[in-house]
């Protein structure tokens, strides 16, 4: 069985669904007690309560299940960022990652996948394709990419020291059913919600004003989950780091055009005037090693996401 931390979360739940579709059973580790949702109600799914910062509790999961692989998607950073005890919060964040490797060693797991982020490319002076072999600056403007860079360096060390195969997933902008953040990093989720509910989009959480030309590599969450599952189950991987993405930049204007094909009177127009810069994650590696290719273009993703929300789902 594949142990998935954060397996009931946004990306995690779709990754579990993809693993099930590929014939794998999954153990979902959650810090709080929870049950699998209806779409993951399967005899091959087990939900275990365990905090990954508690090594004893984590190792105990392995006494009840035969763990053959680990997909680590739970957060590995101090949170909240303004914690009163930042040193202790950092110790717990890094300790959780180390506990994952300790468990992998104890259980004899050969491959551990760890979530990283598109944000590690911040500061790379490039437009167009961002490749995994590009040099990255040591600095990061935000807590998330800062700790993902630390994690990638730790993963490289631990892979060499333990012999465990470690795979870093540099995940792009992910959107779709279950998305929890709204317009925190990009406008698309808020535009979709507004269209589905006949409202104006709330873009106030964004760090700056949204423009029609703004573009980011947007990967539909079902594609993301399938990509991670393929990386976990591949017979052989030729690299440690893989971009998990759509492999193209999608602008707000494209999202709006797709929305209006489904909801012609949607009030989702944005002003022009953005920078027009469009970088994206190159997906050559993951395609060559797993056969991954995104199944959702913008129109298909928008149509399905709106239908999902209109069916009564809240996010």
Reported as type and span, the H/E element at residue 152 is helix 143-162
Strand, coil or helix: 30: strand
Say how far apart CA 301 and CA 296 lie, in whole Å.
Answer: 6
**What is Dmax (Cα atoms) for the chain?**
58
Write down all domains in the chain, each with its CATH number in brackets. Answer: 2-173+219-244 (3.40.50.720), 176-218+247-278+295-310 (3.90.25)
Closest listed residue to residue 115, CA positions, set 216, 234, 12: 12
| Chain segment 185-222, per-residue pLDDT in tens | 899 999 999 999 999 999 988 888 999 999 999 999 99
Average pLDDT over residues 277-296: 95
| Chain segment 249-270, per-residue pLDDT in tens | 999 999 999 999 999 999 999 9
Q: Are 117 and 141 in contact (CB under 8 A)?
A: no
Write down the mean pLDDT value for the chain: 92
The yes-or-no verdict on residue 279 having pLDDT over 80 is: yes
Strand, coil or helix: 222: helix
Question: What pLDDT was estimated at residue 185?
Answer: 84
pTM above 0.85, yes or no: yes
Burial label for 30, CB within 10 Å (0-12, 13-18, 19+), is buried
Say how far apart CA 220 and CA 55 lie, in whole Å.
Answer: 34
Burial label for 96, CB within 10 Å (0-12, 13-18, 19+), is buried
Reported as type and span, the H/E element at residue 197 is helix 188-197
- The crossing angle, in degrees rounded to 10, of helices 221-233 and 10-21 is 60
Say how far apart CA 274 and CA 89 lie, in whole Å.
Answer: 37
Burial label for 242, CB within 10 Å (0-12, 13-18, 19+), is buried
Question: What pLDDT was estimated at residue 184?
Answer: 76
| Chain segment 93-109, per-residue pLDDT in tens | 899 999 999 999 999 99
235: tokens are 């017979």
Q: Are 176 and 220 in contact (CB under 8 A)?
A: yes
Question: What pLDDT was estimated at residue 169?
Answer: 98
Question: What pLDDT was estimated at residue 39?
Answer: 80
The yes-or-no verdict on residue 247 having pLDDT over 90 is: yes
Percent above pLDDT 70 for the chain: 96
pLDDT band for position 21 (cuts 50, 70, 90): very high
The yes-or-no verdict on residue 57 having pLDDT over 80 is: yes
Average pLDDT over residues 42-48: 91
């Amino acid at each position: 069985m594949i142990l998935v931390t954060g397996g009931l979360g946004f990306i995690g739940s779709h990754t579990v669904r993809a693993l099930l579709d590929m014939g794998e059973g999954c153990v979902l580790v959650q810090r709080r007690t929870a049950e699998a949702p209806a779409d993951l109600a399967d005899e091959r799914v087990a939900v275990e309560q365990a905090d990954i910062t508690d090594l004893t509790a984590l190792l105990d999961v392995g006494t009840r299940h035969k763990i053959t692989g680990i997909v680590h998607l739970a957060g590995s950073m101090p949170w909240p960022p303004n914690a009163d005890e930042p040193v202790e919060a950092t110790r717990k964040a890094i300790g959780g990652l180390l506990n994952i490797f300790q468990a992998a060693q104890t259980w004899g797991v050969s491959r551990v996948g760890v979530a990283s982020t598109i944000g590690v490319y911040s500061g790379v002076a490039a437009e167009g394709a961002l490749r995994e072999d590009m040099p990255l600056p040591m600095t990061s403007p935000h807590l998330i990419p800062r700790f993902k860079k630390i994690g990638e360096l730790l993963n490289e060390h631990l892979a060499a020291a333990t012999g465990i195969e470690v795979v870093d997933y540099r995940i792009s902008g992910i959107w779709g059913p279950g998305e929890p953040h709204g317009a925190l990093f990009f406008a698309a989720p808020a535009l979709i919600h507004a269209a589905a509910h006949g409202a104006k989009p709330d873009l106030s959480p964004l760090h700056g004003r949204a423009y029609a030309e703004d573009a980011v590599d947007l990967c539909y969450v079902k594609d993301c989950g399938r990509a991670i599952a393929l990386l976990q189950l591949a017979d052989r991987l030729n690299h440690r780091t893989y971009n998990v993405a759509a492999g193209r930049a999608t602008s707000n204007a494209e999202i709006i055009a797709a929305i209006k094909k489904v909801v012609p009177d949607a009030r989702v127009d944005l002003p022009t005037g953005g920078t027009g810069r469009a970088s994206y994650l190159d997906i050559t590696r993951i395609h060559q090693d797993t056969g991954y290719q995104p199944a959702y273009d913008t129109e298909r993703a928008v149509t399905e996401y709106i239908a999902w929300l209109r069916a009564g789902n809240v996010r």
